[in-house]
Structure 1
């Protein structure tokens, strides 16, 4: 029997260890590699054949959000299941739009993780009822979406880093872009979100529950 090959990406070793043990209790699943950051996740894709990657978004250095687009470009057929501590309404819709195959909160029933992995391995997306409701709300009332939902994938990455207090230079280095390019993204973000300063961005992100 061919097993579903899984990569685990989370900066907490204890969580990865627990997930590996639980996942491999199912005879059709096997964990083939682990990573503790977005950059390591990209390396994992290069070095291992996988069917599904189970990835957190909040990690030091290069986050899961930063890594998602690069992983999608390198492995377009790889299923990516986001397992996050943030509630669905904070990130799920944005990340599914950016190419994630599913989004689960870490408070979910562990059995649901296995169900999601199996469905994604079959080439489908795994959409929970909560996420389906959020997607339907956005389709029905696109004009009432939150300001950050109007940002492009790259703008959203830059927005979160600015909100966390990173400088334009820091962001340019982390994302391998020029300072001028990041400054341009910052200007677009401010315009789209009708905000005036980095402090405004931080306040918005905290209020929206996008950062801790």
Structure 2
């Protein structure tokens, strides 16, 4: 019997590759077998490429974290401006801080909870305003340079991850690893049938040993244990 459906995809990927290597090593002169071995190797490569879906998910999680970091960096810059303002007009830097505060909050703060792409546009515009040479003296007077650099770095990191996510999304295959592995199972079954017809049962089972052993291990691991 050919029972390999229960093997986890990542394990089956490795074991299927070993089976193909076994057949290629011992039966390289069998053209009909090698045709399916080559087909199987191509299918395994497709499965590996389709695994980028998991990487895509990981990058998406990193983007959410980076978005929170830049939100906090933006808020921190506002809080620093508020600190000068709260001290009143007698505080040196009050008017400069008030000007910065009005610019940073001119559209409110709701944009931090909106579209990530839209937020990037707004923050980039605000950074351009802050980094304008005509405001260098103002920024230095309020000692805001480290806070502005922090926001700029946070935005750059978000942009990097956002671009990486876009690239990954465009490269995502239309089929999942599971769907492609079902196709690989079909190739493995064909190879098994061909070998059983042309070679001995022992030779066939020796070539397919990696898959049988993986299947046996997985079934054993799922057996319920009996309490003593």
From the CA coordinates, give the structure whose radius of gyration is larger: 2
Question: 1 or 2, which has the higher helix percentage?
Answer: 2
Question: 1 or 2, which has the higher strand percentage?
Answer: 1
On whether the aligned pair clears a TM of 0.5, the verdict is no
TM-score (norm 1): 0.22
